């Protein structure tokens, strides 16, 4: 036995909340990457003269915008699921949890700011 060391009892609620926060972080990182991709692709369109390359640049940008919309939805969903879970089971956790307050809009804005800082 480990003298005086008590193993913390397993807490399924803590376990689940860990999974949910990781999903939020992953969705946030994906959203940030997709926003940067849109910014890049929109930025290169004007570098091309009229023609096939420019058309391709425009369709690439449209594709990136669609992927961004999907990423925004995934982030908003992950954030909502996390926040709902910690509110619903607040008294079940070993330590208090804080709501995740960063909006998808803020993440897109940060991606924009950092892109132009570079």
pLDDT tens sequence across 87-109: 999 999 999 999 999 999 999 99
Q: What pTM did the predictor assign?
A: 0.87
- What gap in Å lies between CA 92 and CA 86, rounded to an integer? 9
pLDDT tens sequence across 5-39: 677 789 999 999 999 999 999 999 999 999 999 99
pLDDT at 9: 87
Instruction: Tell me how long the chain is.
Output: 118
pLDDT at 84: 98
Angstrom distances, CA of residue 16 to CA of 24, 45, 48, 85: 13, 44, 49, 9
pLDDT tens sequence across 33-78: 999 999 999 999 999 999 999 999 999 999 999 999 999 999 999 9
pLDDT surpassing 70 at residue 118: no
Are 42 and 61 contacting, i.e. CB atoms less than 8 angstroms apart?
yes
């Amino acid at each position: 036995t480990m003298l005086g060391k008590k193993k913390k009892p397993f807490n399924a609620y803590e376990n689940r909340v860990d999974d949910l926060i990781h999903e939020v972080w992953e969705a946030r990182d994906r959203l940030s990457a997709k926003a940067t991709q849109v910014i890049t692709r929109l930025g290169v369109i004007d570098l091309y003269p009229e023609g096939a390359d420019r058309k391709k640049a425009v369709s690439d940008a449209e594709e990136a915008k669609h992927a961004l919309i999907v990423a925004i939805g995934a982030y908003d969903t992950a954030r909502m699921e996390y926040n709902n879970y910690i509110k619903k089971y607040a008294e079940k956790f070993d330590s208090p949890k804080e709501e995740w307050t960063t909006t998808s809009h803020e993440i897109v804005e940060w991606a924009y700011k950092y892109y132009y800082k570079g």
